[in-house]
Structure 1
């Protein structure tokens, strides 16, 4: 089983890369996001997921271990295979994906090619309790976003996010700002204070 490849980029294709490891070239299928970071002739390290079937052996390569974990997690959802998983990871970063699941944002998931509304809803439903563990740097705000997505956030928090959204910020930006505001707002802040602190965060 191959877990990681370290070598030189030999060739970049539309959906794959050839990595030269001491004269042996390995073909790894990658997300568009990972491929965009690669340049022919440069050194590369890819985290690898190995698929072994009766008639084939496939390698899938990822720029980070977190992206590989999301690739595995997405395929735990019924009807989601490797092709759809790579399409999603080509469209959304791991943190964006965690945010979308926490906020139950079907539109964000549906932006990926080949992901229809039914599949998007299935992903949101089946992965909503797993998103925090795979949120990476976004872990600190995922809990609040889950509360917003499920409609159980406190009234001041929900009102502050709504107010910032009405000012033209995306729901994700508003939620991030309010999450940051909560760290400095003290105990039981009202919506006005959260809005004021949230705007300061957004102005940075």
Structure 2
């Protein structure tokens, strides 16, 4: 199996890249986010590869980080999610954003990905909620707080403040980050009004 490709970019298509490795070009299917970040023809590239072998085909899927590849496989462990939908999700959300969305049980954020309807979004946040923290990447530090919010066990002033900021048009993730920062300034015993006020200051920065 191919685990990694190191070469130069030969061509970038709508959903794939051709990587020239010593004169042999490998076609790897990638998320739109990955394709937008890898440079242009002639530049060096390193891709982490997931190899799919079927009776009638062999496909390579490419990722710029091992974490993205892990999410690609993790997403497909959920019923109704295949390679195409998994790439669509990774085109829409970074691994950290995805981990946050699952922790917060933010079905709306996940439903932004093409091909992800309400039922699939519910399955994703439900089935992966206990697995997401291990794949949170740079979001690891705040993932526990967001899980408390998602599971409805956070303190009432905290939940109320996040809800209020969300109602003002901020995403659930933005609201959670702002309230987490507000708690450090206002103190963990602050009421919802104070958390909202400090949270808005954080969002205005």
Give me the TM-score of the superposition, normalised by structure 1. 0.91
Aligned to 2:176: 175
Helix, strand or coil for the counterpart of 2:161? helix
Cα contact 2:47–2:62 (8 A) shared by 1: yes
Tell me the residue number matched to 1:86: 87
Q: What is the distance in 1 between the residues matched to 2:34 and 2:123?
A: 25
Residue 198 of structure 1 pairs with residue 161 of structure 2: no
**Cα separation, 2, equivalents of 1:111 and 1:186:** 34
Aligned partner of 2:27 in structure 1 is 27
Distance in 2 (alpha carbons) for counterparts of 1:168 and 1:110: 17
1:54 aligns with 2:52: no
Instruction: Write the deviation string for residues 77-108 of structure 1: whole angstroms up to 9, x where unpaired.
Output: 11211111111111111122112211212222
**What SS class does the counterpart of residue 36 from structure 1 fall into?**
helix
Root-mean-square deviation (CA), in Å? Answer: 1.7
Query: Where does 1:142-153 land on structure 2 (aligned, <5 Å)?
Result: 142-153=143-154
Identify the residue that residue 3 of structure 1 maps to in structure 2.
3
Q: TM-score, normalised by structure 2?
A: 0.91
Residues 168/108 of structure 1: CA separation in 2 closer, same or farther (3 Å cut): closer
Which stretch shifts more, 188-197 or 111-120? 188-197
- Within 2, Cα distance between the matches of 1:133 and 1:183? 25
Which has the larger displacement, 107-116 or 74-83? 107-116
Gaps of 5+ in 2: none
Question: Which runs of structure 1 show a deviation greater than 6 angstroms over 4 or more consecutive aligned residues?
Answer: none
Q: Which structure 1 residue ranges, 5 or more long, are not aligned?
A: none
In the alignment of these two chains, the number of paired residues is: 204
Q: Give the whole-Å Cα distance in 1 for the aligned partners of 2:162 and 2:188.
A: 18
> What is residue 136 of structure 1 aligned with on the other side?
137
Match of 2:162 in 1: 161
Deviation at 1:184, TM superposition (A): 4.3
Judging changes above 3 Å, is the alpha-carbon distance between structure 1 residues 53 and 167 closer, same or farther for their aligned structure 2 residues?
A: closer
Cα separation, partners in 2 of 1:167 and 1:121, compared to 1, 3 Å: closer
**Range with bigger deviation, 188-197 or 87-96:** 188-197
How far apart are the structure 1 equivalents of 2:47 and 2:185? 39
Q: CA shift at 1:60, angstroms?
A: 0.5
